[in-house]
Amino acid sequence: MTFRLTCPVCGKRDVYEFTYGGPERGPRPAEGDAAERADPGAAAEAHFRWAQFRMNRPDPREEWWYHGAGCGVWFSTWRDPATNREARPGGAETSGNEASGGDSS
Ligand SMILES: [Zn+2]
């Protein structure tokens, strides 16, 4: 199955032009001596959870994509993995974004 993503530079393109970069994880937890002094072990645990844990729910989520076959830009976009359609935060699908049946190459 193919679908289209909207690159902020190039516009709508087939997903095969992109590389998936994973879900948006939020800000990186504090690290270093100050964080370790505040609560030894907690900083390492927080970083481990930030780096390794992934929720695998079929809900719309913000994801990172790389347009390697185009402009070479990393960008984040919202996508519903259940339908492969771009979505807005909260789940509403963006207008005019229909799944492609392989009509582009
Ligand atoms: Zn692009």
Q: How far is the CA of 37 from the centre of ligand 1 (A)?
A: 44
Mean per-residue pLDDT for 62-72? 97
Is 71 contained in some domain? yes
Q: How far is the CA of 35 from the centre of ligand 1 (A)?
A: 38
Residue 104 has pLDDT above 50, yes or no: no
Nearest C-alpha neighbor of 72 from the set 15, 17, 6: 17
Domain count, the chain: 1
Cα dihedral 86, 87, 91, 95 sign: negative
Per residue in 10-66, pLDDT (tens digit) is: 999 999 999 999 999 889 888 777 777 778 788 888 889 998 888 888 889 999 999
Is 98 contained in some domain? no
100, 14 contact by CB (below 8 A)? yes
Q: How far is the CA of 19 from the centre of ligand 1 (A)?
A: 11
Predicted pLDDT at 99: 43
Predicted pLDDT at 12: 96
Q: How far is the CA of 45 from the centre of ligand 1 (A)?
A: 36
4-7 and 61-66 as β-strands: parallel, antiparallel, unpaired? unpaired
Is 12 contained in some domain? yes
What CATH number did the domain enclosing 80 receive?
Answer: 3.30.2270.10
